[in-house]
Structure 1
């Protein structure tokens, strides 16, 4: 995984270079997360839609998605190559000049979000190596950051989101930052596009997804252990939340994403 430029670190959580071969055409699950997702495919346009809603399908050389609470369906052929970035919610304003709230629940092309970066996918694709592609991409983002000079989110809002991510209740978070629950809800919605409680649920699910992914990568999967480590009441609670966010049970997700791994201790919801 490429190292993120220090200037971009508050806004770009990770940069992933991918080159994946499949047995044939299929659909990859794009999981909900507290990060924005930006994909630049290399060989062919990316076809993506919201899970179960084929009428939302878009096909483009870039895909930018804000925070969302349902899975995306990423359609692929025999091979996929490209670069995927995970952006913080602050990154939307800093790099694109728009708050993350404006992107929430949407699948957009880069030209719709940041016209000044519209030619970036072509520049990246034309570069002869992964190293040069990443350098071109990060250079363009550094220039965009300096050009836009957008203010950071209000300190109390950033603190509130950090507390919510750690599982602090909405009421306690509001008290900590000195706002009423209604005022806090307005500020968080204006920044990320979700109410505090919804953001907190998404943050807990994001943590569970990362834990289950790491476990599946090692071949040692216990969904009960993931549920406990992620703050769920039990594995049934995690299974219900997983079905709501991912559109399938944890068992099915592991089977689809890691076909050689068997998940244990999973309550299958039948979805």
Structure 2
């Protein structure tokens, strides 16, 4: 990846939802803003647990959100998926992450200059070509908007929040009041400092779950404790609230091996996941 993009882009990958007629993926909350660009067929997006929320988009920008979304792609189930750190949204797309929070929006409506990107990606014949095309589009955005983005200050703010579970400690580390910190984060991200910390904790737990499933198995109670939850019951409640399912149900849906019944069927500390 271009060194100029490295501070702003967390991931840039190809994806494949499977060889079936329709591919389905559950998009979980995270501390980044995601952009999903199908190779050919549009995506259908619906918020889990919200009837009537389904919408069809050619390319999707998903802002910070605290609940899961279901992505369905029929026909060709491949495409490009990238995630932007919150400061990168303003620097590359020209809008604050707050403008996207809680929403899924067509990429063309966010950045009109990128309206033709999906069709141009379809014409590419290889992943290196697609990756290079996306990087060029992002660099063009950086040239247009980058100088107006105070990404250094925001990166320091988010690092302080991610480094502690208490907003007050983050504000003391940054040398500002809690009220000021709350105002800055709400204005730039569209979520409260506590909600951002909640996203970071959930994202951390998700990474540990995946690692556990691939490393032979670990008690969910240990994942919960290592990720900052009070106990496994707290972890499972939070996972249900944010993912719309239990941790083991999610792992099974993602094709990761699990041993034992789903969360809630065992006493805290008993459930294990394994690869």
TM-score (norm 2): 0.89
The within-5 A match list for 1:234-249 is: 234-249=231-246
SS in 2 for 1:149: helix
Secondary structure of the residue that 1:53 maps to in structure 2? coil
Question: 1: CA distance between counterparts of 2:80 and 2:206?
Answer: 21
CA offset digits 1:70-97 (Å, max 9, x no partner):
0011123475100100111011101110
Seen in structure 2, the aligned counterparts of structure 1 residues 24 and 118 have a Cα distance that, compared at 3 Å, is closer
Equivalent residue for 2:52?
A: 55
Matched residue, 1:210: 207
Q: What residue is the counterpart of 1:106 in the other structure?
A: 103
Instruction: Give how far 1:230 is off.
Output: 0.9
Task: Give the 3 Å change call, closer, same or farther, for CA 214–79 of structure 1 in structure 2.
Answer: farther
Judge conservation of contact 1:20–1:79 (CA < 8 Å) in 2.
Answer: no
Unaligned runs of at least 5 residues, structure 2: 267-275
* Match in the other structure for 1:177: 174
CA contact (8 A) 1:45 1:59 kept: yes
Q: Which residue of 2 aligns with 1:30?
A: 27
C-alpha distance in 1, partners of 2:135/2:151? Answer: 26
Q: Does 1:134 align with 2:149?
A: no
Where 2:53 maps in the other structure, the secondary structure is strand
Give runs of ≥4 in structure 1 deviating > 6 Å.
none
Distance in 2 (alpha carbons) for counterparts of 1:79 and 1:218: 32
Query: Aligned to 2:93, which of 92, 96, 114?
Result: 96
Alignment check: 8 A CA contact 1:223 1:264 kept: no
Superposition RMSD in Å: 2.2
**Does the 8 A contact of 2:14 with 2:81 survive in 1?**
yes
Separation of aligned partners in 2, 1:156 and 1:145: 17
In structure 2, what is the equivalent of residue 75 of structure 1? 72
Gapped regions of structure 1 (runs ≥ 5):
none
TM-score under structure 1 length normalisation: 0.90
Please name the residue that 2:258 is paired with.
262
Tell me, what secondary structure is at the counterpart of 1:233? Answer: coil
Cα distance in 1 between the residues matched to 2:11 and 2:219:
26
190, 195, 200: which one pairs with 1:198? 195
Contact kept? 2:31, 2:64, Cα under 8 Å: yes
Q: Distance between the aligned counterparts of 1:263 and 1:51, measured in 2?
A: 25
Using the TM superposition, give the Cα deviation of residue 269 of structure 1 relative to its aligned residue in structure 2, in angstroms: 7.7
Q: CA deviation at 1:221?
A: 4.6
State the distance in 2 between where 1:120 and 1:23 align.
26
